Structure 1
Amino acid sequence: MIRALSIFMLCCSFAYSGLLKDEIKPVMQEKIDYVIKILQGENLDKALLSNDIFEQFNGMFDFPLMARLSLGPKQWNSLNEKEKDRYITHFVGRMKRSFIQRLELYSDEIMVIKDTKEVTAGSATRIYLVTELVGKEKNYPIVYKFHNSQKDGWMIYDVDILDVSLIQTYRAQFDSYLDAHSLDNLIAWLDEDETL
């Protein structure tokens, strides 16, 4: 699970614009291949690697939507615009730090894109990019979920790792935490260590 999460985090970055529908599979394959090549190289300076990898996936993740979904509608709707912006900034910062920490866990796995699936949810269409992390002893399914942001094209809004939604996992953790703490406490935690 940790290795699967590591590879997911290797594919995260920030800002830019999304993809056209027909670009999802080939562009993701190209980006994933590039990241694997970087990780198999000699230079394992975490800061340099993370900057290079972030640049490769620039704009493919819809972090504002991911942040909103991780909080849930009740909590999100209770925030003003300034609080929403603050939460997004700290949520994205947390994901970036998690990524850098997980770089150390990489050990020669490869990722194979198996399929794309078009899924209809109400009136919205989603694209699921089905991949598999191939390890020495075990393979791990990872599904990248894309939505059409209209303004920015197709962007990732969630990732299922071993059939578990990353966003739903965050949401369950945050709901539980917010039962006993304030949003300010949650934001402070996002700036700290890895566990609640």
Structure 2
Amino acid sequence: MHNKTTTATLHQRRGFGRVLLAGALLVGAAVGLAPLARAADEAPDALVKRLTTDVLQTIKSDKSIKAGDINKIMLLVDTKIMPNVNFQRMTASTVGPKWREATPEQQKRLQEEFKTLLVRTYAGALDQVTDQEVTVRPFRGSAEDKEVLVRTEVRGSGEPVQLDYRLEKTPGEAGGWKIYNLNVLGIWLVDTYRTQFTQEINSKGIDGLIASLAARNKAGVTGVSGAKS
């Protein structure tokens, strides 16, 4: 009985994790509710709190996003999320050392295909967003920090689930804090995909990885395990 309960709880938490990561990948979907300039001078924990709260509210209220409308989600990603994410750094970290050997065109393609993969992977979890609320845990960063960790908990009908963000401070008027990695239930997104990408590159090279990602995206294959949603 204990094992069954433990297994059920684990599956529930993993499913909730997919919901959280879906929301995390859509961070900023409702950032249009506030001036973009605000992000430049906003504290990292305040930024995460605002964006995660906004995105959960947006998912709850927009039926087409909640239903996993890929085109609408992709539009939101391009117009609202990317200004708040250092996606080049995220992709480079996922690809690993071979990123430096890739041509500018290959790097561009890798970013495009990785973004599409992430959106397709987690879009199907959006219909599970219901009563979740975000709590930012006490922040220990200082004004001098260039990189910080913001820890949050997302609470719903089940147990609280850990969702953490790594952010870096970027210069310039369009700068401010940018997200470059996400942690759901103790698993960092970049680390999750790095092993898979490294295997692809070692066997097929950079172009092979791009082709593999493009094929998966075209086929609608999602998830790090390759399961369809």
**In the aligned structure 2, how far is the partner of 1:95 from the partner of 1:188?**
16
Q: How does 1:34-183 map to 2 (within 5 A)?
A: 34-41=54-61, 43=63, 44-47=66-69, 50=73, 54=77, 55-73=79-97, 75-118=98-141, 125-151=146-172, 152-183=175-206
Q: CA deviation at 1:100?
A: 2.0
Asked if 2 retains the 8 angstrom alpha-carbon contact of 1:118 and 1:125, the reply is no
Q: Deviations over 1:6-35 (max 9, x none)?
A: 223323359988933643223332222222
Contact 1:144/1:156 (<8 A) preserved: yes
Secondary structure of 1:115's aligned partner: coil
> Could you list the per-position Cα deviations for residues 114-144 of structure 1 after superposition, in whole angstroms to 9, with x for gaps in the alignment?
232328xxx9731111101213222211111
Give the CA RMSD over aligned residues: 3.1
Distance change in 2, residues 1:92/1:39 (3 Å): closer
Who is 2:25 aligned against? Answer: 12
TM-score of the superposition, structure 2-length normalised? 0.70
In structure 1, the residue matched to 2:15 is: 2
Find the aligned partners of 1:83 and 1:129 in 2 and give their Cα distance.
32
Distance 1:37 1:124, change over 3 A: closer
Bigger fraction of residues in helix: 2
**Cα deviations by residue, 1:14-63 (Å, 9 ceiling, x for unpaired):** 99889336432233322222222233337344338636864554511111
- Which residue identity does 1:37 align to in structure 2? Q
Matching residue's letter, 1:126: E
Once the two structures are TM-superposed, the CA of residue 95 in structure 1 deviates from its matched residue by 1.7
Question: 2: distance between equivalents of 1:105 and 1:188?
Answer: 31
Verify the 8 A CA contact 1:18 1:154 in the aligned structure 2.
no
Identity percentage of aligned residues:
16
- 1:59 counterpart SS class: helix
* TM score, norm. by length of structure 1: 0.80
SS of 2:198 mapped into structure 1: helix
CA distance in 1, matches of 2:38, 2:62: 31
- Equivalent pairs, count: 192
- Whether contact under 8 Å (2:148, 2:168) holds in the other structure is yes
- Alpha carbons of 1:35 and 1:14: their partners in 2 closer, same or farther (altered >3 Å)? closer
Shift of the alpha carbon at 1:67? 0.5
AA aligned to 2:181 is D
The letter for the 1-side match of 2:22 is M
Q: Please say if residues 94 and 190 of structure 1, whose CA atoms lie closer than 8 Å, have aligned partners that are also in contact.
A: yes
SS at match of 1:155: strand
CA contact (8 A) 2:26 2:55 kept: no
In structure 2, the gaps of 5 or more residues are 1-13, 29-35
